[in-house]
Amino acid sequence: MDTPSRRSQPFLLTALTLLLGSACTRTPVPADVPVAPFAYAEARIDDLQAQMARGELDSVTLTEAYLQRIASLDRSGPRLRSVLLINPAARREAAQRDAERRSGRIRGPLHGLPILLKDNIDATPMATTAGSLALRSFHPDEDAFVVQRLREAGAVILGKTNLSEWANFRSSSSTSGWSAVGGQTRNPYALSHNPCGSSAGSAVAVAANLAVAAVGTETDGSIACPAAVNGIVGLKPTVGLVSRGGIVPISFSQDTAGPMTRSVADSAILLGILAGRDGADPATATMPGRAVYDYHARLHPDALRGARIGVLRPALVEQPEIAAVFAQAIAALRDAGATVIETRIPTEGQWEQDEQTLLLYEFKAGLERYLGTAKAPIRTLEQLIAFNHEHAAREMAHFDQDLLEQAARQGPLTDPAYIAARTRARRLAGPQGIDAALQADRLDALIAPTTGTAWLTTPGQGDAFPGGSYSAAAVAGYPSLSVPMGHANGLPLGLLFMGTAWSEPRLLALGYAYEQLTQARRPPAFSASPAAPARRH
């Protein structure tokens, strides 16, 4: 699973890479580190584009500013370890976008803006490592489909972000945000605490203002969870809205890439660029013609008026500090004109074992297809397992690879056990789960706390994962949107909006209206302890 393991807790290269390394996990957490003010802190896509249009800013200047901030926060200072690789062509790409702008050519809404990618997404000329030493010398020949879309829209690919190795599908006792290539990513709100997985680096980099935005990936919670605990917006789209071509897989039933941003508006803009049909990904053929919109144009601060919202109350709300923030969120929704109704997903949790079976089968098949097609230095799961044993001092210093070993024992995707598990899981989470809850009370969306607050990072001891509310949407292949909800004990909490398939326009509109009303995001203070007051940088 790409969120923290459910069994370890109650359950899932450039010089910069050499400077990070797996030994980083042994570096003591520093005391509070002074951080210099940043001219582009909390900058949003529309604001930056407006400055560029007026001639007040250019892409080279902005790119250089982010590179300097990465150097001061990721490689020194708080040492967040969120950025794994710097694109050696980033400055050249920025200069090209500036030249195009001067000639009157604007490619799209991201023209000249630096974007980071999770390091399981292919982007030339950089390596794609998935955090594993086995792939540290692997340089794919082509960009992933989503990277092609970003470049067509004018984005500058700034670099790659650290992640839970193999998207946290390696061990049931893994530590989220750790990879052998990049070491342990730190939560910028409390450096001793965990960023959640597996899109940990993408979330931390966005929260810390190391790029305009980032792209993460999710199988079950790996956009939603790090977005929530790092105080940003994360959108997991409907499976099939965004291509998985050129992305290291876990599950073709559940995998998707998605936006990770500091605002809902930026997520809407980024989703409009990422979404699209790809002949290399059959899932995108299921996309209805109405699924891709100008999502940004559909945002409105009054979108909650008249909406019908179903409130889910997972075990998370039994914690008083979470219950208090969630109650404030519900009150805000009512004040904005929404009708709020207590509800439940009737099949909650009934899909868990089937999901695990599905993931074990699909990981083996999908990974070996990716490695073989991309001509990677390893081609099979057995070769990966053998590599990790041969390099155990670095690869298995903190946890084992039991999920890889379980996956290697699975049969083909024609096995009746797999087919039955996949069918049941998707039905229980989708038509009999989320859809049943929505239809029972004619609801626009369901809400719940995304997850709890970040936990102390303890290498070798797994994750003290508090639980999450996003699995139903993940297993069903439906969208979910996490928006900053508030803070408990100095740490961020997220509010999760879930809907039926292809409901991204409605979820984004609702999330945007909630965000505009509450303004709950606070930039991180890069403190050693979680209770320190936030400062704006």
| 0.85 exceeded by pTM | yes
Q: Is 364 a catalytic residue?
A: no
Torsion of CA 300, 302, 307, 313, to 10 degrees: 90
Q: How far apart are CA 186 and CA 168, in angstroms?
A: 16
Q: Is 198 a catalytic residue?
A: yes
Q: How far apart are CA 57 and CA 45, in angstroms?
A: 13
Long-range contacts, 134-142 (Cβ 8 Å, 24+):
134/377, 134/378, 134/384, 134/387, 134/388, 134/391, 135/376, 135/377, 135/378, 136/13, 136/17, 136/181, 137/13, 137/377, 138/374, 138/376, 138/377, 140/246, 140/374, 141/374, 141/375, 142/246
In angstroms, the first-to-last Cα distance of the chain is 34
Classified as helix, coil or strand, 429 is: helix
Check 172, 174, 222, 267 and give the catalytic one: 222
Spatial neighbors of 76 by CB under 8 A, at least 6 apart, are none
- Cα dihedral 13, 14, 15, 17 sign: negative
Check 198, 251, 471, 480 and give the catalytic one: 198
Classified as helix, coil or strand, 375 is: coil
Q: How far apart are CA 355 and CA 461, in angstroms?
A: 24
233-236 vs 480-488, strand pairing mode = antiparallel
Long-range contacts, 292-298 (Cβ 8 Å, 24+):
292/241, 293/504, 293/505, 295/268, 295/269, 295/271, 295/504, 295/505, 295/508, 296/109, 296/265, 296/268, 296/269, 296/272, 298/268, 298/505, 298/508, 298/509
Domain ranges of the chain: 15-29+38-518
CATH assignment, 15-29+38-518: 3.90.1300.10
Check 22, 59, 82, 118 and give the catalytic one: 118
In a structure prediction context, what are the per-residue pLDDT tens digits for the chain, which is 537 residues long?
576 644 333 233 333 333 333 333 334 445 566 788 999 999 999 999 999 999 999 999 999 999 999 999 999 999 999 999 999 999 999 999 999 999 999 999 999 999 999 999 999 999 999 999 999 999 999 999 999 999 999 999 999 999 999 999 999 999 999 999 999 999 999 999 999 999 999 999 999 999 999 999 999 999 999 999 999 999 999 999 999 999 999 999 999 999 999 999 999 999 999 999 999 999 999 888 766 779 999 999 999 999 999 999 999 999 999 999 999 999 999 999 999 999 999 999 999 999 999 999 999 999 999 999 988 999 999 999 999 999 999 999 999 999 999 999 999 999 999 999 999 999 999 999 999 999 999 999 999 999 999 999 999 999 999 999 999 999 999 999 999 999 999 999 999 999 999 999 999 999 999 999 999 999 999 999 775 444 433
Q: What kind and span of H or E run contains 488?
A: strand 480-488
Q: How far apart are CA 454 and CA 225, in angstroms?
A: 9
Q: Is 118 a catalytic residue?
A: yes
